[in-house]
Structures are given as C-alpha cells and as structure tokens.
Amino acid sequence: MSKAGRQAAPHTDGDRAATLQLIIALGRALQALERGVRPHLLQSGLSMTEFAVLEVLYHKGALPLGDIRDRILLTGATTTYVVKKLEERGLMRRRACAEDQRIVFGELTAKGRALIDEVFPGHVERLCHVMAGLSVSQKREATRLLRALSLHARRTTGERVTEDD
C-alpha cells in the first residue's frame, strides 16, 4: 500500500488518554510562561505578538513577511496589522525585494534594534525564572521531544519543514 494510503495504527485507550493529557499540559505550560513574561513586555510597550516579530527580525535579520508569519505562527492579516503598528512606531520597516517586487521584507530600524537590545535580556531572565522548575538536562530533553513532536505533526499535515525547524 502506498505511503499516502497507509492506514494509521488503531489508537489504544492509553494512547488517547496520554495524547489528551499532553495537549492539556502543553496548553497550560504555554499560558503560564506567557503570564510570566507578558507584564515585562507590556511595560516596554510591546504585546507578545509585537515582541515576537521584533525578536525574529533581531535574530534572523531581514525576512520576507511570509517567513515572519510562518516563524511566529500568525495569519497573513495579523502579520500585516502587527507590521503596520510596528512601522507606525518606527520600530521596523518594509522594503520590496530587489529581485522580485512581489516579495516584501520586514527589517528592524535602529529604533527597533535599540528597543529589542534593551528588552531581550530581561525577557530571557524572566523565561529562566519561570522555567527554573526544570533542570538544564530536563529542558534539553523537553526541547528534543517537542521538536520531534512538532516535526511529525507538521509532516503529517503536509506543512513545509526546513533545516531551521
């Protein structure tokens, strides 16, 4: 039978229960982490989404808006809205690709770089604080497992997977 036509193995009750428990644990962990960092970002005048856009540009450099969207899990409309807000504040700018005018890049301005230079170290400190319940080896193991889960789920849904994933 072809790979596409292959039937998935039937799931056991134990597998179903473990899957649901994992989804709940992931959701609760993410909510708790966001509650730990959101106040610091708000004090800096940034929403979680605005910070995510600035952070990806800070670490990856100028990127096509579609890549920004994909890296921080936004819809196209949300990306446009957030980019526009950040542009209005002078934190980033859009520029057309020289080779293909259909592609628009987002990049940090000097003001945006200065803000992220200021905010990012405190953000990392808060993340370390809220994640202090795990040892370094537990964090590495959790990272390994979550990457494996993410890659499998993305392949299952036909999503593009790159070397950066």
Please indicate, yes or no, if residue 123 is contained in any of the structural domains: yes
- Return the structure tokens found at 100: 């293909």
The tens digit of pLDDT for each residue in 42-74 reads 999 999 999 999 999 999 999 999 899 888 877
Q: What pLDDT, on the 0 to 100 scale, is given for residue 57?
A: 96
- CATH number, residue 54: 1.10.10.10
| Residue 101, domain member (yes or no) | yes
**For residue 2, is pLDDT > 60?**
no
Could you tell me the pTM of the whole model?
A: 0.81
Residue 57 lies in a domain: yes
Query: Do the domain assignments include residue 56?
Result: yes
Provide, rounded to the nearest whole percent, the portion of the chain with pLDDT above 90. 70
Range of the domain at 43: 35-132
- The answer as to whether 142 is a domain residue is no
Look at residue 6 in the predicted model and tell me its pLDDT. 47
- Give the number of domains in the chain: 1
- 152 domain-assigned: no
79 part of a folded domain: yes
* Mean local confidence (pLDDT), 83-87: 95
Q: Is residue 6 part of a domain?
A: no
